[in-house]
Structure 1
Amino acid sequence: MIPALAAEVEHQGLKPASGSTSFGTAKSRALRPCVVLVAFLISLAILPACPRQPHVVVGCKNFTEQIILGELIAQQIENKTHLHVERRFYLGGTYIAHQSILAGRIDIYPEYTGTALTAVLKEPPGSDRKAVYGRVKSEYKQRFHLTLGPPLGFNDTFAIEIRGEDARRLHLQMLSQAAAYTPQWRAGFGYEFMERPDGYKGLVATYGLRFATPPRIMDLGLLTRTLKDHQVDVIAGNMTDGLIPALDLFVLEDDKHYFPPYEAVAVIREQTVAEHPEVTQALDDLAGNISDAEMRQLNYEVDGKKRDVKEVVREFLRSKGV
């Protein structure tokens, strides 16, 4: 390539006379931009190709627990491998996160088995943890060429929450008991809960629930505060929400076992596993290492105490010695 470019320079009359260090004629001065361009192209040909640093992209959805899990995965990979980790957090809901990994925009993200089963695979809810995990793992591999990591340990199932004062005053423990009072209650739910097959429609059908007004749809991060401030009377949150005890909220028991298990797992592209097997080895060390109580505390450290996510995750990993 270099000889060809040099020949083109000489052909265009751009080569200076022997011993000359400048282009003296008006024509040559007019052609100086061309010389610069050709010189630039030659420099590109001479420069060695710079190898791209091996890296993986970790994504997550747009609520606190997902940010914590995304950071947990990212730090674990950074600690246990030589790979550079790019973080693409706050991807939105399940659909956007799933489409992002299918398109190769991210390599890994945390998901929940129940969500994968019902919202992604569009299959009916199941109650057996192992069966749900096995089904999702098999279908993700066959349909999407995605690998499911082992469960991280906790089960973040949906939590139908009311104020603790109301639970004590009305002597409520179970969802089936609350059905007698919901016609006087205002409900607040996230958009995804309203739309997903294991969400609102199935819940009200299973328990025969009616509400005083159509449910108020809002961002997940606003639900608990809205309930505490008496703007709504019942919400669908997460079982591991750290603000449940902090705000004196009460989780009604799902006594009809409507909600499937939601075990947290890492979803990884098969191509990433093949190219970087050390990633799965690093994440396998996290298997079973986060209990429900520990995840709730991690959420509280960020949501309740307003601590930095990276610092909270760093401390947790250090305490676990993984």
Structure 2
Amino acid sequence: MSDLIKTFLDQKDQLWQALLQHLEISMIALLIAVMIAVPLAIWATHHPKVAETLLQITSVLQTIPSLALLGLLIPLVGIGSVPAVIALVIYALLPIFQNTYVGIDEIDPSLEEAADAFGMRPIQKLFRVELPIAMPVIISGIRTAMVLIVGTATLAALIGAGGLGNFILLGINRNDTSLILIGAISSALLAIILSALIRLLQRMSLKNMLISVGVLIAAIAGGVGVQSLSKPVEQITVAGKLGSEPDILINMYKDLIEQDNPKVKVQLKSNFGETSFLFNALKAHRIDIYPEFSGTVLETLVKDDSTKKLSEQGTYLKAKKLISQQGRMTYLEPMNYENTFGIAVKRSFAAKYHLKTISDLSAIQDKLHGGMSLEFINRKDGMVGIKKAYNLDFPIKSMQPSLRYEAIKKNDINICDAYTTDSQLRQLDLVTLQDDKHVFPPYQGAPLMNDDFAGKHSKVVDSLNKLKGKITAKQMQEMNYEVNVQKKSAAGVAKTYLVQHGLLKAGE
């Protein structure tokens, strides 16, 4: 409990921001779903056959797995809040449509006949008879949709939309139960509070209810307007992949940029997702900068038919050239350390079977049970290349990056992929086997941005180039250890390094 309270106090500012993001996404999705489903259901009450078809369609839409739906939306509308809201609207349609249709369709026919006898026009009958009678059932559907939206909105963090899911992802990545609990408890409390507020609408007259909804819409629109008016002269968005290391790096970028460019405000999107998410967001100009590794650029982001093995400098220069030619992107100067892929086992396991190289694994394939990240499993500079070069074939489970370390710690698996600067290598006493057939190319990190952004922001480029040749592998692993194990904030660790090495003025 003390750890939970301490984490809450340390993260209260970030929690408040995430809560507002979650609330904004949820309320926008709910309002759009209501505006679609309620009128459609009212119309469908006069077309029973169409109503049955619509109910089937909304039922099928709700069965689509959320991750699959987000994946399908990304190529169409990009990354961020837009696909998240669309997905949430799709999930909310069924309970709202179904309850509205049932609520109106099951009104006592004698009441309908009485309204007709009084000479009410259809619109009068709708607002004076049908909606007031059906409102408790409609509100019940909206409440169900609200709870569904708030819970599902935690997945929005996977595509850079923010919200309370950031805490859950960060907690999983760092194996920090307190962060997971903060995100989960906050989401549950938000759902309970909003559900209770919606229930209060049942006690209002239809007129007051519509006024309340109008005020809510105006408040959301006003909040968005205030945010846009309160933005500084310029805002730069810097994003990072999942994990402590990208989080540390983007905080360094933020400190350096804001120190040298006082009129610029940097917005961070940490734990944004895997490589493809970041790269697509950069191409679509939804983010401005993110740290990428030279080997990843060469092996994943550009087309390169050459199989020639290159040095660190050769890999960087070729990656820089090809990403410029093929993607019109600028790849700045790399840092000192190399963070390559590795195949890791426990030190005791390596000693037992005399493992020093990846080639040594071929003799004990029947004893191997792997757990690896999905990205590593499917990359040609990852498990695809390893299997081909070393002729290995053993069972592998796909796991979220941090969970594979938890699994090897508990002996659920005995081999996993790793990054050579991961703090868990030190924490769990793991060893990385030598890549004696050189499948893994060199990986040096550097900021990646679009050419047009670099051309317009020479001072930002100068600020980021201060990291050229800085940070050794030992220093990076130590910083990762401070964040993952000692539970220090990535922002604090980043700032400490910059100050200690004369890159940032103390107090900035």
Whether the TM-score (by the shorter chain) exceeds 0.5 is yes
**What SS does structure 2 have at the residue aligned with 1:137?**
helix
- AA matched with 2:240: C
**1:178 is the counterpart of 2:361:** yes
Residue 319 of structure 2 is aligned to residue 136 of structure 1: yes
Deviation at residue 280 of structure 1 after TM alignment: 0.8
Cα distance in 2 for partners of 1:236, 1:127 equals 22
User: Could you say if the C-alpha distance between residues 270 and 135 of structure 1 is closer, same or farther in structure 2, counting changes exceeding 3 Å?
Assistant: same
Shift of 1:183: 2.0
| Structure holding more strand per residue | 1
Q: Is the 8 A contact 2:298 2:319 kept in 1?
A: yes
Question: Displacement of 1:135 after TM fit?
Answer: 1.3
- For residues 213-263 of structure 1, the C-alpha deviation after alignment (integer angstroms, 9 at most, x for no partner) is x31001111122211210101001100001212211111111111110111
- Partner of 1:306 in structure 2? 487
Higher helix share: 2
Amino acid at match of 2:361: A
Residue of 413, 418, 437 corresponding to 1:237: 418
Aligned to 1:67: 247
2:235 matched to 1:55?
yes
* Distance in 2 separating the partners of 1:182 and 1:299: 32
Report SS of the residue matched to 2:350.
helix
Secondary structure at the counterpart of residue 99 of structure 1 = helix
Query: Once structures 1 and 2 are overlaid, which stretch shifts more, 75-84 or 309-318?
Result: 75-84
Tell whether 2:279 aligns with 1:98. Answer: yes
Alpha-carbon separation, structure 2, partners of 1:110 and 1:296 = 17
Q: Say whether residues 1:153 and 2:309 are aligned partners.
A: no
Distance in 2, matches of 1:51 and 1:290, equals: 33
Q: For 1:50-93, what per-residue CA distance to the aligned partner results, in whole angstroms no more than 9, with x for missing partners?
A: 99512211011122211111112112212222221011222211
TM-score for the superposition, normalised by structure 1: 0.81
Distance in 2 between the 1:306 and 1:272 partners?
35
Contact 1:157–1:259, Cα closer than 8 Å, also in 2: yes
1:51–1:71 Cα change, 3 Å: closer
Amino acid at match of 2:473: D
How well do the aligned residues superpose, as a CA RMSD in angstroms? 1.6
**Deviations 1:29-60 (CA, angstroms, capped at 9, x unpaired):** xxxxxxxxxxxxxxxxxxxx999512211011
1:158 and 1:238 in contact (8 A); partners too: yes
Q: Which residue of 2 aligns with 1:207?
A: 390
Letter of the structure 2 residue corresponding to residue 200 of structure 1: M
Does structure 1 residue 109 correspond to structure 2 residue 109?
Answer: no
Instruction: Report the AA paired with residue 148 of structure 1.
Output: Y
Which of 297, 315, 322 is the aligned partner of 2:496? 315
Do the aligned residues in 1 keep the contact of 2:232 with 2:265 (CA within 8 Å)? Answer: no
Which structure is higher in RCO with an 8 Å CA cutoff and minimum separation 6? Answer: 1
Paired residues, what number?
272
Gaps of 5+ in 2: 1-228, 504-508
C-alpha separation in 1, matches of 2:442 and 2:448:
17
Q: Name the CA distance, whole Å, in 2 between partners of 1:59 and 1:316.
A: 20
Question: In the aligned structure 1, how far is the partner of 2:498 from the partner of 2:283?
Answer: 29
Aligned with 1:111: secondary structure? strand
SS at match of 2:363: coil
Gaps of 5+ in 1: 1-48
Tell me the distance in 1 between the aligned counterparts of 2:303 and 2:337. 23
Identity score, percent: 29
The 1-side partners of 2:342 and 2:485 are apart by 18
